[in-house]
């Protein structure tokens, strides 16, 4: 493959859409380029569970014909995208990364798929994930997903394939689902942009559930502009999901270039400066905050005392919800689950109701503390994760101590769970690399339904830095 074709593969979805509109590139050619890259790299990276070459080429041919007929084109016209295998796709298997659903073929598209296709997107395939969008999978039934920056390292989850495919240019953009960090964590560890919109902003119809009050679909992209573009496409009221907001889709793109002048930004002290946060991560995040200050924002430290508890509170609530959904299969098909998934769901099945209620009340307090902070600040910042991607082996093997549980589950989630528990939007963007060459993620949290300010600040930072322009050596 020529470097020109590689360069095309790494262009943003917005730029590819513009090239298609201007007849400078054919959607068929774009699909072929990504299919070739999938052939070359995915046997190792395992981003995809299902690739759809014939369907994608057929859709691309139709897209090309529409361009030639000078039809009115959608904002993603002819752009090849892929989605986490958690979203239902009519006539295409939807596995949730589990042997239990290996043969599951939905009859209807999830609303987000309908909207992406309606905007002209070309679906390339379905992406790998931790089983049932829980973390802690020990043996991935469809192959071990690997981090493109170092294949011995974890790509993050649960939207693992979504992060890998975007970082390795195996698609132009992807969609993941974030219950407790499942978009932001793989974005951070794979060095791409990951947006968790406000809860209720995006329809959950056709997305296999984990927790009704936390599940949120969101884009993983190579640029902030693409995250804004995909959000505008998928957001908005859906009568098939009565909990979606009736607010119109946010007009984030026009505001992107307005800069951060005058914005008040608070660095969350308990996450950024905690002992658990690795030094390189803390250094990169504080440098990013200084950069935002240099761009005109006011930056202060802010204390949100309860956020260190967010990881455990999240697991008590989300895992209980998940365990409730899985009870029939846990009773009759338990051994078909991956060992890690089964043990996590069994544990959650036994959480006492009194503890669940205590966690639900604590969630309300955490939400109140975050919203109080957001009354004084336009945005909050902190690391997306306490460390860069660890080796895959770090999460392998049986759990033999309580410290194992805390290390594998609670600590990391305390960085991403606060936004989930509060229902507020948050974005992960690259803000540096470790000495080992692994990406570090900056997280920005915003006010409910104010994705525009969140994206505006992320865009301003992205334009001033070169982190998003680096590519992994594959």
Partner 1 sequence: MAELTAEQVSAMAAALGLPMTPDDLVEVTHRLNALLEALAPLATLPLDTVEPVPVLPDEPFTS
User: Which are the catalytic amino acids?
Assistant: 84, 158, 182
According to the binding rule CB under 8 A, does residue 396 interact with partner 1? Answer: no
User: What is the SS3 assignment for 147?
Assistant: strand
CB of 44 to partner 1, least distance (A): 30
Q: Are 319 and 351 in contact (CB under 8 A)?
A: yes
- Alpha carbons within 13 angstroms on the beta-carbon side of residue 435 total 4
DSSP structural state of residue 406:
I
- Is residue 284 exposed (0-12), middle (13-18) or buried (19+ Cβ within 10 Å)? buried
Minimum Å distance from CB 473 to partner 1?
Answer: 37
Region 441-470 residues binding partner 1, contact defined as CB under 8 A: 447-450
Distance, in Å, from the CA atom of 469 to the CA atom of 430, rounded to the nearest integer, reads 10
Question: Does residue 376 interact with partner 1 by CB under 8 A?
Answer: no
- Tell whether residue 362 is a contact of partner 1 (CB under 8 A): yes
Should residue 359 be labelled a site residue for partner 1 when binding is judged by CB under 8 A?
Answer: yes
* List 404, 436, 464, 469, residue binding partner 1 (CB under 8 A): 404
Phi, psi of 433 (to 5 degrees): -135, 150
> Is the distance from CB of 124 to CB of 133 less than 8 angstroms?
no
In angstroms, the CA 286 to CA 192 distance is 19
Q: How far is the CB of 359 from partner 1 (least distance, A)?
A: 6
Contact flags string 180-199 toward partner 1, x per CB under 8 A: -------------------x
252 binds partner 1 (CB under 8 A): no
Residue 405 engages partner 1 in binding (rule: CB under 8 A):
yes
Binding residues for partner 1, total number by CB under 8 A: 54
Task: Indicate whether 398 belongs to the interface with partner 1 (CB under 8 A).
Answer: yes
Q: Which of 313, 382, 389, 426 binds partner 1 (CB under 8 A)?
A: 313
- Report the candidate in 291, 262, 263, 281 with the shortest Cα–Cα distance to residue 442: 281
- Kindly tell me which residue out of 15, 153, 196, 344 binds partner 1, with binding defined by CB under 8 A: 344
* Choice between 140 and 449, CB closer to partner 1: 449
Residues composing the chain: 474
- Spatial neighbors of 322 by CB under 8 A, at least 6 apart, are 132, 134, 210, 211, 345, 348
CA distance 402 to 367: 27
Q: Which of 40, 254, 301, 358 binds partner 1 (CB under 8 A)?
A: 358
The residues of the shown chain that bind partner 1, judged by CB under 8 A, are 199-200, 213-214, 306, 309, 311-313, 315-316, 327, 330-331, 334-335, 339, 342-344, 346-347, 349-352, 355, 357-365, 371, 374-375, 398-406, 410, 423, 447-450
């Amino acid at each position: 493959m020529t470097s020109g074709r590689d360069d095309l593969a790494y262009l943003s979805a917005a730029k590819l859409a513009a090239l298609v509109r201007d007849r400078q590139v054919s959607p068929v050619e774009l699909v072929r380029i990504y299919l070739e890259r999938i052939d070359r790299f995915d046997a190792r990276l395992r981003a995809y569970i299902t690739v759809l070459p014939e369907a994608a080429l057929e859709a691309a041919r139709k897209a090309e014909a529409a361009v030639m007929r000078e039809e009115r084109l959608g904002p993603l016209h002819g752009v090849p995208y892929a989605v986490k295998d958690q979203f239902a796709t009519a006539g295409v298997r939807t596995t949730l990364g589990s042997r239990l659903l290996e043969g599951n073929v939905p009859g209807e598209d999830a609303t987000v798929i309908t909207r992406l296709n309606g905007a002209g997107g070309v679906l390339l395939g379905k992406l790998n994930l931790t089983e049932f969008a829980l973390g802690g999978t020990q043996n991935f039934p469809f192959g071990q997903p690997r981090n493109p920056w170092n294949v011995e390292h974890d790509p993050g989850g649960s939207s693992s394939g979504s992060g890998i495919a975007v970082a390795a240019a195996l698609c132009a953009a992807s969609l993941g689902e974030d219950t407790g960090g499942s978009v932001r964590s793989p974005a951070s560890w794979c060095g791409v942009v990951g947006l968790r919109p406000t809860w209720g902003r995006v329809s959950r119809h056709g997305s296999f559930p984990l927790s009704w009050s936390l599940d949120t679909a969101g884009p993983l992209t190579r640029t902030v502009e693409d995250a804004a573009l995909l959000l505008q496409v998928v957001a908005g009221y859906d009568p098939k999901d009565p909990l979606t907001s009736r607010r119109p889709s946010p007009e984030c793109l026009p505001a992107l270039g307005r800069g951060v002048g005058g914005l008040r930004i608070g660095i969350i002290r308990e996450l950024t400066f905690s002992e658990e946060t690795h030094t390189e991560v803390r250094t990169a995040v504080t440098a990013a905050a200084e950069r935002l200050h240099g761009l005109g924002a006011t930056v202060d430290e802010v204390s949100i005392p309860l956020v260190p508890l967010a990881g455990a509170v999240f697991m008590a609530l989300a895992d209980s919800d998940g365990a409730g959904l899985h009870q029939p299969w846990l009773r009759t098909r338990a051994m078909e689950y991956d060992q890690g998934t089964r043990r996590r769901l069994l544990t959650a099945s036994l959480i006492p109701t009194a503890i669940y209620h205590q966690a639900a009340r604590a969630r309300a307090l955490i939400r109140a503390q975050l919203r109080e902070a957001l009354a004084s600040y336009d945005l909050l910042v902190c690391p997306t994760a306490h460390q860069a991607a660890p080796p895959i082996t770090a999460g392998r093997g049986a759990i033999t101590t309580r410290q194992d549980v805390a290390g594998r589950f609670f600590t990391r989630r305390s960085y991403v769970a606060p936004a989930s528990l509060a229902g507020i939007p948050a974005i992960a963007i690259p803000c540096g690399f470790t000495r080992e060459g692994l990406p570090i993620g900056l997280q920005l949290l915003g006010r409910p339904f104010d994705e525009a300010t969140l994206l505006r600040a992320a865009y301003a930072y992205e334009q001033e830095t070169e982190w998003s322009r680096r590519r992994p050596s594959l």
